[in-house]
Chain A
Amino acid sequence: MNLAMAVVGTAGAGKTLFCINFAEYMGAGSLSYSEVSGGNERRALLSPAGARNLMVGRGRRGNGVLRTFTVHLTGPLRRLSLIDTAALPERDPLPRFERSRLALTLQAVAGADLILLLIDVSCADPAHEEFNERAEGSLAAYCRQQGKLFLTGGSKADLLKRAPEKHRRRPLYAGANLLLISSVTGLGFARVRGLIRGGAALSAAGSSRQVIN
């Protein structure tokens, strides 16, 4: 079976690096990659290192581009599509150029089987935290309604100086534990893989109503 995972989050949450490194962790030697922006689509085949070099780092932000990395696997889960969505804009009202990006991201969320919300745990801005908290609540409710898999990942966990327990609390209604993830060290990747495989098995059995981490 095939599974599509939408990786969602605000700007700088680490979505792109997670997608590339997780695809590599899942065994992808090369990434089949497509990019949608402004109604145009591009396709390419990249190595993980090439993708990191091209897309990750200062000045290499996605700028509203929606990327899909496809990983071909063996076993019941044949294909995993990692959708690196455009950043969730925090500004309200939305500037004109960010509206179509948001629409594109919501399209990806609506089309995916699994939603991973990435929250930068190294950022302590309360306004940012509140935004993430509310986004998490809405996405969790949507996934419950739709019977989709949903999990919240605390990205950049390698940057935490304090004990990670502080960040394990989930402040609001999502009803989920925060899964600490580091795309640099690979922390949390095994757990995400387990959840994806578990979710795929449930979907194949037709019994999945919701799985929340």
Chain B
Amino acid sequence: MTEALLVVDGLRHVYQTEEGEHVVLDGLSLTVNRGEFVSIVGPSGCGKTTLLRALSGLLKPTSGTVSLAGEAINGVPKGLAMVFQDYRGSLFPWRKVGANVEFPLLGRVGAEERRNRVRESLEAVGLENFAGRYPWQLSGGMQQRVAIARAIAMRPQLMLMDEPFASVDAQTRSDLEDLVLRVRELYDMTILFVTHDVDESVYLSDRVLSLSKSPTVLTADTAVPLPVPRDQIRSRENPVFVSTRSEIAQLIRRAKPAGLYGPGEAIPTTSNFAVPVLR
């Protein structure tokens, strides 16, 4: 039943700086199954963005492999869409909303099909009446919805989202979270979601992967046994939500460079949900 869609094996990335080598990712391995919603959380500066750039083909990792649907990828793979944190920088101000959504389809999909997909994608995010506006005439939350519509229009196997709601207000944020859950349901999409917000990761995900400080490794793989569909009020009151969130919050607070524990610290053995992936 579960089919691995994204397999990352031993991903390592080293930046050359003037002081020498700076190891950002130090042998990350992870798997995302088809249809899953997986979040990645970690302390700030832990190389989340580097990881996502490596997965999306924007950055060539120093070593390690990434494969999507069984194919090793080199460069930007087919079937992948990305939603960036900075919607202002990812929507083209000279293209109207509809034309921005259409952009990745140009030259690949026939005109008729393009029109349909643009309309459908904008409907999915509730912006069907805004195709003729410029993105900068819309609010921040609406702009991020345009970016999501553009990702949907690509009909991706995997949608990568890089802290997509970090720059919108709280109300808009919970609306967008529910929107993403709806869209995922609608299109049966697999989503890998990077965030620094523990609550958000628990609310949205089937699984949460936590990272250490850089040099970054995976510290735990935590299942979120919260019933679906999720609800902003009820899900967050659920004891499972509360315990999972505090578990992950602890994982992040305890995160050290390259692991969870400083030298000599005792390693606890019991955990409700989290599967420690570290020695």
Do A and B share a complex?
no
Q: Which residues of A contact B (CB under 8 A)?
A: none
